[in-house]
Amino acid sequence: MAIRTLDLFCGGGGSSWGASSFGAEIVCGVDAWDIATLNYRDNFSGAKVVEARLDASSGREVVGRIGPIDLLLASPECTNHTCARGSRARDEESRETALFVLNFIQLFKPRWIVIENVVQMRAWPRYPELIRELERSYFIRPQILDAVNFGVPQTRRRLFIVGDREEMPSDLSGQVHVAGRSAKSILDPKGTWDARPLFKVGRAKDTIIRARRAMKALGEGVPFLIVYYGSDGAGGWQRITRPLRTLTTLDRFGLVEWTQGEPTLRMLQVPELKRAMGFPHSFKMNQGTRRDRIKLLGNGVCPPVIAALLGSLAKRREVSSSMAIAAE
């Protein structure tokens, strides 16, 4: 029997795609951003899609009558947890969106829950409260999972709070389930996208510094990625033979290649970044501007990680059922 799934703060549908790839039935997705719900609807035509901003009082009126739910997925707002905000003040209302999930858990009483967020969520003063509330009805196992260990060509560490009403969920952290791939595997063939000379007039000074740093390490003729924005302790560049560094909501990665002995630079494009998140070609992402789609991807969840989590939960259910039958 299919696992009926509700996805809160669903974004463009990364968690739901991962669950559906395992065979789950996606019943409903909820998100406050119209671009997210448009993309979600394109990919889950059989699901109810709700554009709504959840708050502390949100409940049945948001989703209507959608029937029983076996699995609740949720990716509450992460911006005000992440270190990407630097020293800027945190918005407590944004961080409290994690608590809004509790209403739906109480309402639907799903067998399983998976709440995803940035690792820094654990430092939130109300994080222990959230865990205590979940533990009233669930066996809870928070775990830090890196998408690269699930076959995704990107290093992306995220917190997954996994709950099961009947038994303790498996711990998938610290294991290589599927070997990750390199950034080279996501790149389109040379010439697919327009590139401009790296040393063109007007190029930002910091970009040139980062590029020269890479060339000094690699030598001429070797392609590499320049990393824009955010703190970067590795010189602002990376080899394409390694997994992509964490994708963010900003247009962060530029590819330097060589043409007739001269370096050129272009930004990575949405289809490439989609592969970096572990999405297949069949996943549709046609709504919104290029910037919108990069934001959706940067805020998203890598589907292979969710598929693996659901696989581990369902496997434990099958084992428990087999043991119960054997005991009769």
pLDDT digits (tens, 9 = 90+) for 173-185: 989 999 989 999 9
The answer on pLDDT for 321 being more than 90 is no
The percentage of residues in the chain with a pLDDT greater than 70, rounded to a whole number, is 90
Question: 4-179+301-327 belongs to which CATH class?
Answer: alpha beta
Residue intervals in the chain for CATH 3.40.50.150:
4-179+301-327
Report whether pLDDT(90) > 60: no
User: Which residue type is seen at 236?
Assistant: G
Q: What sign has the CA pseudo-torsion 269, 148, 120, 34?
A: positive
Answer whether residue 78 shows pLDDT above 70.
no
Average pLDDT, the chain: 91
Distance of CA 137 to the CA centre of its chain: 26
Is it the case that residue 309 has pLDDT exceeding 50?
A: yes
Contact, 63 vs 6, CB < 8 A?
A: yes
Long-range contacts of 87-91 (CB under 8 A, 24+ apart): none
Closest CA to 18 of 266, 217, 308, 237: 308
Strand boundaries in the chain, DSSP class E? 4-8, 25-31, 48-51, 71-74, 112-117, 139-146, 157-164, 196-197, 224-227, 237-239, 253-259, 262-267
Alpha carbons 245 and 25: distance in angstroms, whole number: 32
- Between the alpha carbon of residue 104 and those of residues 108, 179, 288, 320, the distances in Å are 6, 35, 29, 26
- Section 270-291 average pLDDT: 97
- The reported pLDDT for the residue numbered 94 is 64
Amino acid 172: pLDDT: 97
The helices-and-strands tally (H runs, E runs) of the chain is 10, 12
**Mean local confidence (pLDDT), 87-103:** 77
Query: Is the pLDDT assigned to residue 231 strictly greater than 60?
Result: no
* C-alpha–C-alpha distance, residues 325 and 96, integer Å: 43
The two structure tokens encoding residue 293 = 């789609």
Question: How would residue 14 be classed by pLDDT, with cut points 50, 70 and 90?
Answer: very high
Q: Could you tell me the pTM of the whole model? A: 0.91
